[in-house]
Amino acid sequence: MVRSTSRPFASWLHAHAKVRLVALLSAPMLWLVVAYLGSLAVLLVSSLWTVNSFTGEVIRTPTMVNFRTILTDDVYRTVALRTVAVAASVTVIDALIAFPMALFMAKVASRSARHWLVIAVLTPLWASYLVKAYAWRVMLANGGPVDWFLGGPGRGPGYGLTATVIVLSYLWLPYMILPIFTGLDRLPDSLLEASADLGARSWRTIRSVVLPTVVPSVIAGSIFTFSLSLGDYIAVQIVGGKYQLIGNLVYINFGTAGNLPFAAALATIPVLIMVGYLLAVRRSRALEQL
């Protein structure tokens, strides 16, 4: 105490935890609330504006005309439904592939093998998104490796909606494996042994003990796979052929059409879907697994 009284500011800071907390939170909250939430607020407000079709000027009078167009025009409904269907397929495919891999990593592989497996799965997560999408463009090209593997040009799926689902599942797979692996890693081995001692065979143990405990992890992973697929427009452009998703429409209205308000209105679709999704899964404790 002798030393700290010689530094009045330090001891005052030590005594006032609230001040320390406010000091820690001020800058990050300023950034996230002003730059991020502020931008989201501007996005929502500007989705109510319109553009003068002759001058290209933004008219800042709130109207529902953008949303009326989205709700009544068949094109937007089709694209929105297609996007949700793609995102849902990607999520299901990823969960089906990720679960056995994560289970092997967490409960079967030896300690040293586990370490390398985690690195092997993490590496492509951070390797360039574009490179991976591009790799599949090469793979799925007419007469490319996939066609060759399946027996000749035109045998593979080629570019299109199937290719988009394949590529998106590939891109987001690590986002699903990691939370499931973390969840399974926390599951004590003794529970599995108890299940076996009580006479359950492997499949029964997996179904009744393992699966229920990984549900929050799967939901945590699905937040990523679903959300990332909802907003994607690059992979579709690279392997999707003529198909479009919501992201493409947002991008076209932002860029070539120069209609920022309408792009903003379209972007509220994935926001609403994701907010609804997050609220729906809030009680499953999945958010703590992110």
Comparing CB distances to another protein, the nearer of 79 and 118 is 118
Within residues 153-172, the interface with another protein by CB under 8 A covers 170
Considering the rule CB under 8 A, would residue 65 count as an interface residue with another protein? no
Residue window 235-254: x/- pattern of binding to another protein, with contact defined by CB under 8 A: ---x--------x--xx--x
Work out how close the CB of 117 gets to another protein at its nearest, in angstroms, rounded to a whole number.
Answer: 7
Work out how close the CB of 71 gets to another protein at its nearest, in angstroms, rounded to a whole number.
Answer: 19
Q: Name the one range near another protein by CB under 8 A: 63-71, 73-81, 157-165, 265-273.
A: 265-273
Q: Name the one range near another protein by CB under 8 A: 61-69, 72-80, 100-108, 157-165.
A: 100-108
- Pick from 68, 115, 155, 285 the residue near another protein by CB under 8 A: 115
Comparing CB distances to another protein, the nearer of 70 and 250 is 250
Within residues 10-49, the interface with another protein by CB under 8 A covers 10-11, 13-14, 17, 20-21, 24-25, 27-29, 31-33, 35-40, 42-43, 46
- Pick from 67, 88, 132, 157 the residue near another protein by CB under 8 A: 132
Q: How far apart are CA 213 and CA 39, in angstroms?
A: 38
